[in-house]
Amino acid sequence: MGSESARLILDADALRTNYARIKEQVGPRCAVAGIVKADGYGLGAEPVARILFQQGCRQFFVATPEEGVSLRAALPPEASVAVLGGLYTGAEREYVAHDLTPVLNTLEEAGRWARIAPGASAILHIDTGMNRLGLDGREMVRLAEDPSLLCGVPLSAVMSHFACADDPSHPMTAVQNERFATLAARFPGVPRSLANSAGAFSGSGYHYDMVRPGIALYGGAPLEGRENPMRPVVGLEARVLQVRTVRKGETLGYGATHRFERDGFSATVALGYADGYLRSGSGRGSLYWKGRALPVAGRVSMDLVTLDCTAIPENDLPVPGDFVEVIGPHRTLDQVAGEAGTISYEILTDLGVRYLRIWK
């Protein structure tokens, strides 16, 4: 046992299996990219990308040029690293020096890229309804009227992004797909990419030439209200720091929000919102000890969570130095997210720097 306060147990075989599951879902004619932004959703972009590369993944996406530079150094030259945030003003030379592919979100970016890196490929992002990044309707009209605006920019792909695909019943997904099919047809011969994790599991009509899964790779459920077909990649366990005897009527933690209704025990665990265990999970959910649920009692603080251990016999309580399960066989990533009133993406990307990350 070391000095770590908590441990992330990361399952490389599950990551491989999830990638293979997505490849099976989309078929041999559709490429499966790897979304490894936000440090590989908190797992570590470099080890995740290396594992995916070994599985045949050749296209990777990050959010910023800084993420791209770091990842580029960890991958063989035949891997492509694309920056979803576009061509950052002032960082253009970094893209060229480190062989990064910009995802062009405006015609202005396309013009700059053509001047700075003539003949270098890029990905074109078309907005089909998300209204965040990508060429909007007016820019698409301009491009239709003057195709020379993309001269000097060979496109390696044209892409868009679903807004509501995780909800299988939402009508916007079909609307976006129709818009994308129409707009992408203006670029004959250019590979097309629309589907995220949810889109990859929503039907072959959304697959096109490449899907871009993120959360499904890491074990999160791609679709709401359906059985999760992915294997869990992340396990999390946190160290018990102290076990206390408590008396009926005593309170616990900030704000005295939890009051014990009978004599019992509590455990204080080295886990808090600085580690990504959200404050919104106060008084909700459980951590597990030997398969037994220990309810989270009182407020989650920056570094500590307290558990009500009253249901555990005194001779079977955890002791300081033991580790309790936060995410694992008894509590999935999606369940932990639901208890905190959020989504699995936020839980993963908030995973703190204090965790010891162990790949198995």
Q: Considering just the CA atoms, what is the radius of gyration of the chain in Å? A: 24
Query: The tokens of 100 are what?
Result: 């990064």
Give the Cα separation of 73 and 22 in Å (integer): 26
Distances (CA, A) of 167 to 140, 151, 339, 347: 28, 38, 19, 20
The burial of 316, by beta-carbon neighbours within 10 Å (0-12 exposed, 13-18 middle, 19 or more buried), is given as: exposed
Q: How far is Cα 104 from Cα 124, in angstroms, rounded to an integer?
A: 5
Whole-number Å distance between alpha carbons of 110 and 139: 12
Q: How far apart are CA 305 and CA 347, in angstroms?
A: 16
Residues 96 and 117: beta-carbon distance below 8 Å: yes
H or E element in which residue 53 lies: helix 45-54
Residues ≥6 apart with Cβ < 8 Å to 302:
272, 273, 274
Contact 227, 233 (CB under 8 A): no
| Residues with catalytic function | 37, 254
How many other C-beta atoms lie within 10 A of the C-beta of residue 132?
Answer: 10
d(CA 143, CA 129): 18
**Which of 299, 326, 294, 325 lies closest to 311 in space, CA to CA?**
294
